[in-house]
Each structure stands twice: as C-alpha cells, then as structure tokens.
C-alpha cells in the first residue's frame, strides 16, 4: 500500500501546479467566479462519475452533508479571495502568507486531537508569525498602490482562515465519510455558490469573454480531482498536522512558476519571507 508520505508528496506537486493557475487566471483578468465555477463543476462531474462507477454505498449521510457544506463554503471563499488577492499583490507575497493557514490547522490538531506540540513546532509557529509580519510590511512598502495592497492583504487573510477551515473539514471527511461521495457533493455545492458570486465579482476590468476563465477552471479541476483525492487518502492514513505541513509547501512551486513565467521579481524581503515560511513548515513537521 502506498504510504501517506508518498501520497502527500504527489498531492504537493499537483496542488502547487493548480495554485499557479490561480495566478494565470488573475494575470489574464478572468472573471474569478466563472473560473471557480468551471473548476468546481469539473471536479463535481469527475467525482460523481467515479463514485457511480465505484458502486460504493453512501453511509453517514447526515455527517456527509454537514462536512461537505462546511468544506465547500470555506474552500470556495478561500479560492475566490486567493485569486482576487493576486490581482492586487505579488504571488511571492500572497502565497506564503496564505499557506501559513497550517498554523491554525496545527493549533486545532493540538487542542482537538490532543496532538503533542514539540519545541520545534513552537519555534515554527513563531517563525510563521514572523513571515506574516515581514511580507505584510514588504507589501505595504509600495506606496504608489497602497489601496490595492490593503485590499490584497485583507483578501489574503480571509483566504488564510478559509483554507484552514477547509483543511480541518477535509480531515473529518477522510475519517468519517466516503471520499468520492464527499468530493462530488462538496464541489457541487461549490459550483452553486460560485455561480451566485458571478455578479458580485464582475468589475469593468474583467474580460467579458469567459473562454479563458472556463478553460483555466477546467484544467484546475482535472489537476485538483487527482490531487485532492490523494490528499484525502493521505489524511485517512496519516496525521493531519504533518500532511498539511508537507502539502503546505506547494506555494513554492506556484511562486517559482510565477517568477519564471511572469517575471515577478524576488527582492530580499520576499526571498527571506519565502525561506522563513519553508523553515516554519519544516519545523512544524518535527
């Protein structure tokens, strides 16, 4: 049987690629809600088909609906705010801060699952807070676009909290309900929620032609279908705090691709922030 560690590494690579597509959507001024709708619809259809073919029974329906609703709402909000944030602040600032949602997840694991916290993890949490302060200060240094920076940082912190709730609810899904059934229901709910946000997120600068939004969302969905299933599978076999710490490093892939393709500059504070974020993730695993 494949170990939870190997599954986590594969999920890390796929999630990093998927998150880079958030940057692509933002750079192309795609309608965020339509991109997310296409993303959710793709995963919902694939999950529903896979669940039907599996022939498995749908047990614990009450828990399934509740967990799916919490996961769907938090994941969609996290996705929408993440993509919107990338329209206002650089990927090298947004991604490290958002991925520090693992601090919230690990604290939850400590208090709810009674996970033991080591000295390394305490240092890791402190380092993570330092990353937030460094990258926030770096972003606020751009006075010429202070209004956009402030809006971007607000969106980033909303995405951070939403992502933490999504990860925690995923652990409960992996433990108590059918994985494919959960994915089908959660992403179907997400599709409906995304559709409801279409008019709220449509600004003048957004493209009227939504072909790119649907295409990018479709590719996101294909990647996420495999990556998220492997993430759930890993969670059913291993500890929440360590798995989230491993997959949490996917932002490095997204930042690298953003710097390579969109020529985003990595100044000293951003490199320091990224390095400390990676260090905090490593420490949180120990």
pLDDT in tens, 240-281: 888 888 888 888 888 888 888 988 777 888 788 888 888 887
**220 compared with 143, residue with greater pLDDT:** 220
pLDDT at 17 over 70: yes
State yes or no: pLDDT of 16 exceeds 70.
yes
Residue 195 has pLDDT above 80, yes or no: yes
Q: What is the rounded CA–CA span in Å between residue 255 and residue 261?
A: 10
Alpha-carbon gap, residue 258 to 198, rounded angstroms = 26
The predicted model gives 228-233 an average pLDDT of 94
For 178, the token pair is 């059918």
| Per-residue model confidence as pLDDT tens digits over 139-167 | 655 554 566 778 888 999 999 999 999 99
pLDDT in tens, 42-72: 999 999 999 999 888 777 788 999 999 999 9
Contact (Cβ atoms closer than 8 angstroms) between residue 80 and residue 201: yes
Reported as type and span, the H/E element at residue 249 is none
Given this model, what pLDDT does residue 11 score?
A: 94
Which tens digit of pLDDT belongs to each residue from 121-131? 788 878 887 88
Contacting residues for 266 by C-beta, under 8 A, at least 6 apart: 92, 255, 259, 274
Residue 219 in this model has a pLDDT that exceeds 90: yes
Give the count of domains, the chain.
Answer: 1
Residue 237 CA from chain centroid, whole number:
21
Tell me how far apart the alpha carbons of residues 164 and 264 are, in angstroms, rounded to a whole number.
Answer: 27
Lowest mean pLDDT among 86-90, 93-97, 139-143: 139-143
Question: Which tokens belong to 27?
Answer: 């750079």
- How far, in Å, are 84, 98, 283 from residue 262 at the CA level? 17, 20, 31
Residue 168: pLDDT band (50, 70, 90) is very high
Q: Which residues contact 3 (CB under 8 A, 6 or more apart)?
A: 237, 238
97 contacts 132 by C-beta, under 8 angstroms: yes
Sign of the alpha-carbon torsion through 248, 278, 13, 262: positive
- Residue with the bigger pLDDT between 100 and 140: it is 100
Residue 284 has pLDDT above 80, yes or no: no
Question: What region, left, alpha or beta, does residue 72 occupy, with left being phi > 0 and alpha being psi -120 to 50 degrees?
Answer: alpha
pLDDT of residue 121: 79
How far is residue 201's CA from residue 109's CA, in Å, rounded to a whole number?
34
Residues 6+ apart with CB under 8 A from 205: 29
Q: What average pLDDT does the chain have?
A: 85
H or E element, residue 178:
none
Would the pTM of this model clear 0.75, i.e. be above it?
yes
pLDDT value for 145: 59
pLDDT band at 202 (very low <50, low <70, confident <90, very high): low
Q: What angle in degrees, to the nearest 10, is found between the helix axes of 146-176 and 240-247?
A: 140
User: Where in the sequence is the domain holding 223, given as residue range(s)?
Assistant: 4-285
pLDDT greater than 60 at residue 81: yes
């Amino acid at each position: 049987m494949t170990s939870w560690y190997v599954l986590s590494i594969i999920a890390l690579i796929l999630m990093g690629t998927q998150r880079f597509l958030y940057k692509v959507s933002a750079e192309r001024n795609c309608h965020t809600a339509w991109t997310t709708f296409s993303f959710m619809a793709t995963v919902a259809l694939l999950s529903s088909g896979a669940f039907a073919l599996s022939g498995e029974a749908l047990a614990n329906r009450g828990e399934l609906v509740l967990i799916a609703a919490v996961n769907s709402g938090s994941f969609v909000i996290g996705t929408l705010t993440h993509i919107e944030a990338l329209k206002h602040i650089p990927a090298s600032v947004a991604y490290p801060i958002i991925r520090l949602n693992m601090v919230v997840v690990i604290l939850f694991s400590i208090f709810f699952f009674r996970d033991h916290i080591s000295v390394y993890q305490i240092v890791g949490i402190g380092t993570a807070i330092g990353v937030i302060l460094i990258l926030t200060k770096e972003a606020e240094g751009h006075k010429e676009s202070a209004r956009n920076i402030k809006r971007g940082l607000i969106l980033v912190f909303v995405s951070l909290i939403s992502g933490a709730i999504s990860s925690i609810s995923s652990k409960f899904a992996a433990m108590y309900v059918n994985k494919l059934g959960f994915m089908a229901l959660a992403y179907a709910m997400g599709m409906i929620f995304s559709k409801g946000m279409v008019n709220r997120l449509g600004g003048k600068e957004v493209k009227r032609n939504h072909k790119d939004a649907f295409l990018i969302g479709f590719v996101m969905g294909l990647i996420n279908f495999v990556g998220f299933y492997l993430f759930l599978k890993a969670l059913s076999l291993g500890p929440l705090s360590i798995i989230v710490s491993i997959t949490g490093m996917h932002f490095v892939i997204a930042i690298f691709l953003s710097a390579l393709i969109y020529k985003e500059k990595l100044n000293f504070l951003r490199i320091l922030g990224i390095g400390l974020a990676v260090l905090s993730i490593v420490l949180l695993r120990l």
